[in-house]
Structure 1
Amino acid sequence: MNMLWLFCWLNEWLGLSVIVIVLLLICLCVLTVRLRLELDDDPVQIIFFVWWPITVYLGWIMVATIACVAAWLVSIGFQGGFVAPETWTITMIVIATALFLYLIRKRNLREASLVGVWAFIAIAIKQWQVHQTISITAITASIVLLVAATIHGYKNRETSPVAKLQRGEW
């Protein structure tokens, strides 16, 4: 499905690419739930080779879905109606931050939220010269996610892979 999305995106079939990436996001969410990612106390191998790759990929697809929808809306001439484009962007950052915080709190998916940190820092850098309000919002969102992930990791440090490796568990 990822290849299909990439094919649609590179051929600038943006409407179709939105449909494909939303389906991909749904599949990853179902996979996350069915595999109970980061809900059980699994061995380090499962964490390294199953949980983390899927979780990071989920975070990336969440960010890419928002970017893909935004690109499609621009391509069809959507101007934001009565809301300024800058306000739409800030709203999307806030919504994405809330989703990532939900993933940390309810599913223990800190790694997905760290993808959000990376994406928001990239947005902040790109928008700094043009829209500092967007940049400041993105930096704030990055800090919020980083702090939330750090606190969550600290609270759950006994079941972390580092603690397991220190105890000789593999």
Structure 2
Amino acid sequence: MRSTLLILNTLGWSAVVTVNALANILPINGYTTGELSDKYPNLFTPAGFTFSIWGVIYLGLLASVSFSMYNARSSEKNTGTELIGLWFFISCLANVGWILAWHYQLVGLSVCIMFVLLFSLIQIYRNLGVGIRAVSPAEKYMVHAPFSIYLGWITVATVANITALLVHWNWRGWGLPANFWTAAAILLATLVALYILNRTNDFFFVLVLVWAFFGILYKREYQDPNPYPVITTTAIACGLLLLYRFFRNRAYHKNPAYF
């Protein structure tokens, strides 16, 4: 079973990297991923440089797959490979499926697939026991950390995808301004991060959200001709709150499973 999972994980990672690269090189259906994002303008989408985190995610996942291969002959039961099970391969299928749905402008379908991706990553996160199960430093940083970063970014991406769908539907926000809903989305993401912090004190998950909030702040302050003080204030306040809670938890709770 372990060897089968390793093969599937390797194929899954390769498919994700290949399809995501082709999506922008060809590009698929005549649009790059960023060009399609620009078709659904909203205040939650962060600055373009923020998406460079995908490079970190792909390298992290490669490290995770490589670590699993290195430990393939281990006699230890419940290794990372077995704890993850088929969920990583499912997440890879969802990632590829999302790219295809997004590039063919099936926005509603892309949101559904994004939820599959999010759910699969949550299952991986729980099965690994990130921030709960004490593991070796190598496993912590080559397996747990990559999935923390991936889950953090897909949490943000899910909110952004839903926002794009609402723009696609010409949703008017029930009469409330767009900056109100953007601030609400930032607060929602912050609540999710606070929940994660209370359970695992996951530094990498928090860092990803702070990075996303910085991207939103930068775009609104330096790339948008209109000021949005509600959004920038919310992004700064939420980012600082998350960092404060992380360092406070780390100071008061000495847990070897924490990063």
- Normalising by structure 2, we get a TM-score of 0.59
Report if aligned partners of 1:37, 1:51 keep a CA contact under 8 Å in 2: yes
Q: Does 1:117 align with 2:214?
A: no
Name the Cα RMSD after superposition.
1.8
Letter of the aligned partner of 1:145 in structure 2? Answer: L
Within a 5 Å distance, the mapping from 1:1-170 to structure 2 comes to 1-128=94-221, 129-130=225-226, 131-156=228-253, 159=256
Q: Distance in 2 between matches of 1:119 and 1:11?
A: 26
Runs of 4+ residues over 4 Å off in structure 1: none
Change beyond 3 A, Cα 1:9–1:154: farther
| Higher Rg | 2
Change beyond 3 A, Cα 1:160–1:37: closer
Bigger drift between 15-24 and 150-159 goes to: 150-159
Q: Distance in 1 between matches of 2:172 and 2:202?
A: 34
Report if aligned partners of 2:220, 2:232 keep a CA contact under 8 Å in 1: yes
Letter of the aligned partner of 2:195 in structure 1? Answer: Y
Q: How many residues align?
A: 162
Bigger drift between 66-75 and 101-110 goes to: 101-110
Report if aligned partners of 1:39, 1:108 keep a CA contact under 8 Å in 2: no
Letter of the aligned partner of 2:166 in structure 1? Answer: L
Deviation at 1:157, TM superposition (A): 5.5
**Percent identical across equivalent pairs?**
30
Q: Distance in 2 between matches of 1:158 and 1:91?
A: 32
Bigger drift between 127-136 and 42-51 goes to: 127-136
Report if aligned partners of 1:52, 1:111 keep a CA contact under 8 Å in 2: yes
Change beyond 3 A, Cα 1:120–1:61: same
Deviation at 1:16, TM superposition (A): 0.9
Change beyond 3 A, Cα 1:158–1:108: closer
Structure 2 portions without partners, runs of 5+: 1-93
- Normalising by structure 1, we get a TM-score of 0.87
Report if aligned partners of 2:131, 2:199 keep a CA contact under 8 Å in 1: no
Change beyond 3 A, Cα 1:160–1:40: closer
Q: Distance in 2 between matches of 1:161 and 1:77?
A: 43
